[in-house]
Amino acid sequence: MIHSRNRRLRVSESMRSLVRESILTTDDFVMPIFVMEGENKEEAIPSMPGIFRRSIDLTVKECKELFSLGVKAVNLYMKVSDHLKDNTGKEAWNKDGLMQNTIKAIKDAVPAMVVMPDVALDPYSIYGHDGIIENGKIMNDATNDALARMSVSLAEAGADIVAPSDMMDGRVLTIREALEENGFTDVGILSYSAKYASSFYGPFRSALDSAPKDDMEIPKDKKTYQMDFHNSREALNEVFKDIDEGADIIMIKPGLPYLDIVAKVREAIDLPIAVYNVSGEYAMVKAAAQNGWLDNDKTIIESLTCFKRAGADMIFTYFAKEAAILLNK
């Protein structure tokens, strides 16, 4: 005779929901947003169906809708005009730059929206790299100084959290000290602590034209600063260093292929953990759904719930708006 039957707790949806361990809500989402110059402009991103580059006015409109759906945080990326790019990234701390004006516009229109601008030089670089290049090499410390100037500028514009995604060594400490010295003690740092050199970033880079340029004199990829995808223990080393330097939130990127890293970091730290459901993951689901190979809605909710189950506190995802609509039903 069987005394223990696990199926007793699966007999109905009501019973299953009563014992459910991981619950997905709109409070979990951060929506990445692409911004472009102009007015009343919207451009579709072919490799990311349903995602657009928008001018500031339409970005504000989108943020209002997101907030009404329960999505209370956005992550900002700029499509920078080629004539503003150089090897210093100085446009990144232009007080009247596209990023700064976008932050101001969103905070004016939706004050309660948490605005997390990306901190990296690749959209501003003529080389498409996250760092300043000298003699064919990425200069770590010079890049950190630039990232600190960028972070202070974004804080001045009204950013709630700055999100350095560059993977330079020591940049969290450099940014934290710069924010403190300039009086921005309440501005948080969400550090991309375990960001892997991944093949899943392709659609994102095409959206911003931020892929490394094909030049024999510079690195052809980002493997000298982003993590080797073969490694997991290294992720904990990166995480602990960023916490010591003053990070408030830890990011793991990409997402679904790296749930083991999310779970390992969750066991090791108490700080909030963010995970990035990246562009390639989004594109794969959309392509399969468009071909009838997957159920779009069910796959979205299942995959996002997996991040919560692994231990993430917040999910950066291009599905945020669509998932919020589904959950609100």
CA angle 280, 22, 322 (to 5 degrees): 45
Q: Which residues pair with 75 in a beta bridge?
A: 32, 116
CA distance 253 to 87: 26
pLDDT at 210: 64
Give 251's pLDDT tier (boundaries 50, 70, 90). very high
Per the confidence metrics, is the pTM higher than 0.85? yes
pLDDT at 212: 73
List the single range of 24-33, 118-127, 171-180 with lowest mean pLDDT.
Answer: 118-127
Alpha helices in the chain (DSSP H): 13-18, 56-69, 98-109, 140-157, 171-181, 202-208, 233-245, 259-268, 279-290, 296-310, 320-328
131-166 pLDDT, tens per residue? Answer: 999 998 999 999 999 999 999 999 999 999 999 999
pLDDT at 2: 87
pLDDT at 214: 66
Amino acid found at 75: N
pLDDT at 74: 98
User: Does the annotation list 39 as a binding residue?
Assistant: no
Single out the residue of 274, 294, 270, 283 nearest to residue 319, CA to CA. Answer: 283
Q: Which residues pair with 276 in a beta bridge?
A: 316
Tell me what the pLDDT averaged over the chain comes to: 95
Percent of the chain's residues with pLDDT above 70: 98
Percent of the chain's residues with pLDDT above 90: 90
CA angle 37, 77, 259 (to 5 degrees): 155
Single out the residue of 240, 273, 243 nearest to residue 258, CA to CA. Answer: 273
Residue 280 CA neighbour count, 13 Å, CB half:
11
Verify cis geometry, omega within 30 degrees of 0, for the bond prior to 254: yes
Tokens, residue 209: 């034209």
Backbone angles phi, psi at 302, to 5 degrees: -65, -45
Q: Is the pLDDT of residue 216 over 70?
A: no
Interval 196-206 mean pLDDT: 88
Q: Is the pLDDT of residue 300 over 90?
A: yes
List the single range of 45-59, 74-88, 124-138, 200-214 with lowest mean pLDDT.
Answer: 200-214
pLDDT at 221: 86
- Residue numbers annotated as active site: 195, 253
What structural domains does the chain harbor? 26-328 (3.20.20.70)
Give 205's pLDDT tier (boundaries 50, 70, 90). confident
User: Which one is predicted more confidently, 94 or 209?
Assistant: 94
Alpha helices in 95-201 (DSSP H): 98-109, 140-157, 171-181
CB atoms within 10 A of CB 2: 4
CA distance 64 to 258: 32
CA angle 26, 56, 280 (to 5 degrees): 55
